Structure 1
Amino acid sequence: MNIDALNPADELQRVVSQPDSDSGATVYARRRVGDRELKRVVLASVLGSFVEWFEFSVYGYLASIMGRVFFPASTPGVQLIASLAAFAIAFFARPFGGLIFGPMGDRYGRKKVLTATIILMAVATFCIGLIPDHATIGVAAPALLIIFRLLQGVSAGGEASGAAIFVAEYCPDRNRTAITSWIEVGCMSGFCFGAVVVAALTHFFSVAQIDAWAWRLPFLLALPLGGIGLYIRYRLEETPAFEAAQHRTGQRAGWRYLFRTHAGPLLQSSGLIIVTNVTLFTVVTYTPTYLVSTLKLDASTGLTISLVSQIFLVAMIPLLGALADRIGRKTVMLSGVLAVAVLVVPCFHLLMTGSFATRLAALALLNLCLAAMLSCIFSKVPSLFETSVRFTGMAISYNVSVALFAGTAPMINAWLIQATGSRMIPAYYLIAAAAVGVVALLFCHDRTGKPMHGDAPVAG
Structure 2
Amino acid sequence: MSNAVEQVRTTHNDNLHVVAAQHSEDAMKRIVWAAMVGSVIEWFDFSVYGYLAAVMGKVFFASSTPTVQIIASLATFAIAFLARPFGGVICGALGDRHGRKQVLNMTLFVMAGATFCIGLIPSQASIGIAAPLLLILMRLLQGLSAGGEISAAAIYVAEHCEDRHRTIKTAWVEVGCISGFVLGASTSFALHEIFTDTQLVEWAWRIPFFFAAPMALVGLYIRAKLEESPLFVGARRSGELGRVSVGMQFKQLRDHGSVMLQSAGMIIVTNITLFTVLSYIPTYLNQTLHLPGHLSLALNLAPMMGLVVLIPVFARVAERLGRKPMMITASVGILLLAQPCFKMLGSGEMWQQLLALMILNTALAMLISSILAQIPSLFPLKVRFMAMALSYNVSVALFAGTAPLINAWLIDVTGNPLMPAYYLMFGSLLGLAALIASTDRTGRPMSG
TM-score bin (small chain): over 0.9
The alpha-carbon deviation at position 257 of structure 1 amounts to 4.4
User: What is the match of residue 214 of structure 2?
Assistant: 224
User: What is the match of residue 4 of structure 2?
Assistant: none
User: What is the match of residue 272 of structure 2?
Assistant: 278
Please say if 1:190 is aligned against 2:219.
no
User: 2:436 corresponds to which letter in structure 1?
Assistant: L
Residues 110-158 of structure 1, C-alpha deviations (whole Å, 9 max, x = no match): 0000110000000000000000001110000000000000000000011
User: What is the match of residue 9 of structure 1?
Assistant: none
Q: Which of the numbers 117, 137, 140 marks the counterpart of 2:130?
A: 140
Please say if 1:424 is aligned against 2:414.
no
The alpha-carbon deviation at position 32 of structure 1 amounts to 11
Question: Aligned to 2:238, what secondary structure does the other structure show?
Answer: coil
Distance 1:158 1:250, change over 3 A: closer
Q: Distance in 2 between matches of 1:131 and 1:101?
A: 27
Matches within 5 A, 1:56-455: 56-251=46-241, 254-454=248-448
User: What is the match of residue 35 of structure 1?
Assistant: 25
Question: Aligned to 1:422, what secondary structure does the other structure show?
Answer: coil
The alpha-carbon deviation at position 260 of structure 1 amounts to 2.7
The alpha-carbon deviation at position 255 of structure 1 amounts to 2.2
User: 2:414 corresponds to which letter in structure 1?
Assistant: T
Q: How large is the RMSD of aligned CA atoms in angstroms?
A: 1.5
Distance 1:39 1:382, change over 3 A: same
Q: Percent identity?
A: 53
Count of residue pairs the alignment pairs up = 427
Q: Distance in 2 between matches of 1:449 and 1:330?
A: 12
Matches within 5 A, 1:50-61: 50-61=40-51
Q: Distance in 2 between matches of 1:40 and 1:89?
A: 34
Question: Contact between 2:84 and 2:145, CA under 8 Å: does it hold in 1?
Answer: yes
User: What is the match of residue 18 of structure 2?
Assistant: none
Q: Distance in 2 between matches of 1:278 and 1:389?
A: 25
User: 1:88 corresponds to which letter in structure 2?
Assistant: A
* Farther-moved stretch of structure 1 (432-441 vs 235-244): 235-244
Question: Aligned to 1:353, what secondary structure does the other structure show?
Answer: coil
The alpha-carbon deviation at position 246 of structure 1 amounts to 1.1
Q: Distance in 1 between matches of 2:94 and 2:433?
A: 31
The alpha-carbon deviation at position 258 of structure 1 amounts to 2.9
Matches within 5 A, 1:5-24: none
Question: Contact between 1:33 and 1:170, CA under 8 Å: does it hold in 2?
Answer: no
Question: Contact between 2:253 and 2:383, CA under 8 Å: does it hold in 1?
Answer: no
Residues 301-356 of structure 1, C-alpha deviations (whole Å, 9 max, x = no match): 11111111101111100000010000000010100011000001111100001411
Residues 222-277 of structure 1, C-alpha deviations (whole Å, 9 max, x = no match): 11001111111111000111112112235577424432321121111111111100
User: 2:326 corresponds to which letter in structure 1?
Assistant: V
User: What is the match of residue 12 of structure 1?
Assistant: none
Q: Distance in 1 between matches of 2:240 and 2:117?
A: 44
Q: Distance in 1 between matches of 2:330 and 2:58?
A: 37
Q: Distance in 2 between matches of 1:374 and 1:144?
A: 33
Q: Distance in 2 between matches of 1:300 and 1:110?
A: 40
User: What is the match of residue 44 of structure 1?
Assistant: 34
**Which structure 1 segments of 5+ residues have no match?**
6-30, 455-460
Q: Distance in 1 between matches of 2:324 and 2:151?
A: 20
Q: Which has the higher helix share?
A: 2
TM-score by structure 2 length?
A: 0.93
Question: Contact between 2:303 and 2:358, CA under 8 Å: does it hold in 1?
Answer: yes
The alpha-carbon deviation at position 49 of structure 1 amounts to 0.2
Question: Aligned to 1:121, what secondary structure does the other structure show?
Answer: helix
Question: Contact between 1:258 and 1:393, CA under 8 Å: does it hold in 2?
Answer: no
